[in-house]
Amino acid sequence: MGWCKEPYTIGGVFSLTGPNSFLGDPDKKSLEIAVEEINAKGGIDGHPLQVIIYDTEGDPTKAVLAVNKLISRDQVIAIIGPSNTPPTLAVVPIAEKEKVPLISCAAGIKITDPVKPWVFKTAQTDALAVAAIYAHMKKQNLKKIGILTVENAFGESGKEQLTGQAAAAGIQVVQGETFGAKDTDMTAQLTKIRTAQPDAVVCWGTNPGPAVVSKNVKQMNLKMPLYQSHGVASPKFIELAGDAAEGILLPTGKILVAKQLPDSDPQKAVLLRYIEDYEKRYQTPVSGFGGYAYDAMQILAKALRGTEGDKAKIRDNLEKVTGHVGVSGTFNFSATEHNGLGPDAFVMVQIQGGAWKLLAP
């Protein structure tokens, strides 16, 4: 295609290698799919999109170097990423100081709360995840819970939400315990929780800890329901927990159960097309994480129109994007809301026969 206008250069910063590559690799692939789609339709106002992507390795220091390079050397007009929370928080001050729109693919609520003018994000927050769990518990008439959270930023944030939202949901946390990310046995913590006689247990962490908790719950023959966080919403968890995964409840974005969604769900068609494009192109199963970068690029494309690449106009337009049906939910941004997702971004699922089963809302 012969382009008549200069390309718009977009930056991407993702954890492509290292322990968080399961986040960054699908981000990169999904961003490339979105850019190809947009360019195939004629780009933005006649400008093709080009992307420059750097690897953060999930390291905040490397993320800072990458973002500085994108802004000063590559002259990007917007940045998508980083993939996870610590590198995002490290680069937020740069985006703010240099006045470059940044759309993070990470989950931490502190990225956009309080609102920072130049920073947006597409991943669902843990606040919404806890709200989904508590809504489900309320329907099951579960009132007293024990919580078990991992000792890192993800677990701390989860604990804040679990304790902070409890009273309003009519739920009482009767016992709170923590575990180290590398711990291999949580029997002691679960014994304390059992003594407090809760109606259910909530574990908040990312692999492998939650799988250990699931196995311990089974070994101890605890009969109460076990809820996990959206942090384990991938096939890897089922693989690690084995038959101990059976019956576990958790909130997840709709991508894991796209085919089970009712046809009336506005996200269904978007999800099925994204899954098909991704799996056909990369010959690998889709993950819930790549959708954050895909959504970020599609939202950015809407905000780019009519700006001629002016960063301040792009920023202003991002706040005006509403009703955008994406992979991760339906986005409604505003001057006071830079994540744009509501409770409908999550569904509750149960692991049945080693697969995800969508539960009735």
Question: For 298-311, what is each residue's pLDDT tens digit?
Answer: 999 999 999 999 99
pLDDT of residue 161: 95
Tokens of 314: 């792009």
What are the sequence ranges of the domains in the chain? 8-124+268-328, 127-252+346-358
Give the predicted TM-score (pTM) of the model.
0.89
Q: What is the rounded distance in angstroms from the CA atom of residue 12 to the CA atom of residue 28?
A: 8
Percent of the chain at pLDDT exceeding 90: 88
Pick among 1.10.10.10, 3.40.50.2300, 2.30.290.10, 2.30.30.90: CATH of 8-124+268-328: 3.40.50.2300
Q: What is the pLDDT of residues 44-78, one digit of tens each?
A: 999 999 999 999 999 999 999 999 999 999 999 99
Q: What is the rounded distance in angstroms from the CA atom of residue 311 to the CA atom of residue 303?
A: 10
Contact, 127 vs 109, CB < 8 A? yes
Q: What is the rounded distance in angstroms from the CA atom of residue 131 to the CA atom of residue 62?
A: 34
Superfamily of structural domain 127-252+346-358: Response regulator (3.40.50.2300)
Tokens of 37: 């789609």
pLDDT of residue 285: 85
Q: What is the pLDDT of residues 223-267, one digit of tens each?
A: 999 999 998 888 889 999 999 999 999 999 999 999 999 999 999
Place of tokens 């990169």: 28
